[in-house]
Chain A
Amino acid sequence: MRAAVIVFPGSNCDRDLAVAFEQAGFQVDMVWHKDAALPEGIDIVGVPGGFSYGDYLRCGAIAAQSPICKAVVEHANRGGYAVGVCNGFQILTETGVLPGALLRNAGLKYICKTVGLKVETSDSAFTQGYNAGDVIGIPIAHHDGNYFADDATLAALRDQDRIAFTYTENPNGSVGDIAGILSENRRVLGMMPHPERAADEGHGGTDGTALFRALSGVLAPA
């Protein structure tokens, strides 16, 4: 099983994400944003958190136009798996791989703390290690995590069971308390909270481990 973790100028969760993948049994390739292609044989792409390009223009907007992102979009369009965490989620919405957008937090403050997340669906490679309704503790660390989508998009997300996680106490004003969503084919997850920061005893919590383990269960060669 092989994972690619994309590295942009300003990424700062790339190595944490790589470690989380490795602990779940993945071999990880770090891929620089200037590369125009993903390595051969990649099973999943991780788009990490951070402040790519200094959040200039809009969070994720410049990264979404980088050479590697074209390859990531093609990978997703082919039915490949991908996960975007925090800035990675912002980037995936900017590319159009995931719907909606992330606005400035309603309280205008950068928030860094562990929050309660309710697992809304266990029907995905990412969430099948949880039960729907489970409440897990995962850290958030963002200034622009206020998920927005128009009513039609929200209705589609709900009807298609594509809301992966909601906040038990909405920290940022996200519509519908949404913390993470799935693509229509359920193979791309974007989420503002950081499961890779709750994947080791040293982190003070391991509720994120099940996400990476579940992925390795799905993507392991039969």
Chain B
Amino acid sequence: MKARVHVMLKNGVLDPQGEAVRHALGAMGFDQVEGVRQGKVIDLELAAGATEADITDMCEKLLANTVIERYEIELV
């Protein structure tokens, strides 16, 4: 079983790296870009029997800091 966890800063939390990427894209002439948010993708390879609840537990305890980040779990 495999799972993919997406971790993003919450809305309202400044993402200076995303802002820097937005500036760079603007400087390159990509005027269409109005906002950039940068996050992480974490791929998990799991033993048989692992549940989505287990992955949620992993996200809450380590993979995301829920003070500043939100996460989404994708089973693949």
Q: Which residues of A are in contact with B by a Cβ distance under 8 Å?
A: 57-58, 61-62, 65, 93-94, 99-101, 103-108, 146, 148-150, 173
Interface size of B as a range? 10 to 19
* Any A CB within 8 A of the CB of B67: yes
Interface majority SS (helix, strand, loop, mixed), chain A: loop
- Tell whether, in the assembled complex, residue A93 and residue B17 are in contact, meaning their CB atoms are under 8 Å apart: no
- Tell whether, in the assembled complex, residue A61 and residue B13 are in contact, meaning their CB atoms are under 8 Å apart: no
* Any A CB within 8 A of the CB of B50: no
Which residues of A are found within 8 Å of B61, using beta-carbon distances? Answer: 65
What sequence of 0s and 1s flags, for each residue 43-76 of chain B, a beta carbon within 8 Å of any chain A beta carbon?
0000000000000000001110101100000000
Which residues of A are found within 8 Å of B16, using beta-carbon distances? Answer: 103-108, 146, 173
- Tell whether, in the assembled complex, residue B20 and residue A58 are in contact, meaning their CB atoms are under 8 Å apart: no
Query: Which partner residue on chain B sits nearest A150 by CB separation?
Result: B67
- Tell whether, in the assembled complex, residue B65 and residue A58 are in contact, meaning their CB atoms are under 8 Å apart: yes
Q: Other CB < 8 Å A-B pairs besides A108-B17, A173-B16, 20 of them? A: A57-B63, A61-B65, A65-B61, A65-B62, A93-B67, A101-B65, A101-B67, A103-B9, A103-B16, A103-B68, A104-B16, A105-B16, A106-B16, A107-B16, A108-B16, A108-B20, A146-B16, A148-B14, A148-B67, A150-B67
Which residues of B are found within 8 Å of A103, using beta-carbon distances? Answer: 9, 13-14, 16, 68
Query: Which partner residue on chain B sits nearest A93 by CB separation?
Result: B67
Instruction: Identify A173's interface contact among B14, B17, B67, CB under 8 A.
Output: B14
Distance A100 CA – B67 CA, assembled complex (angstroms) = 6
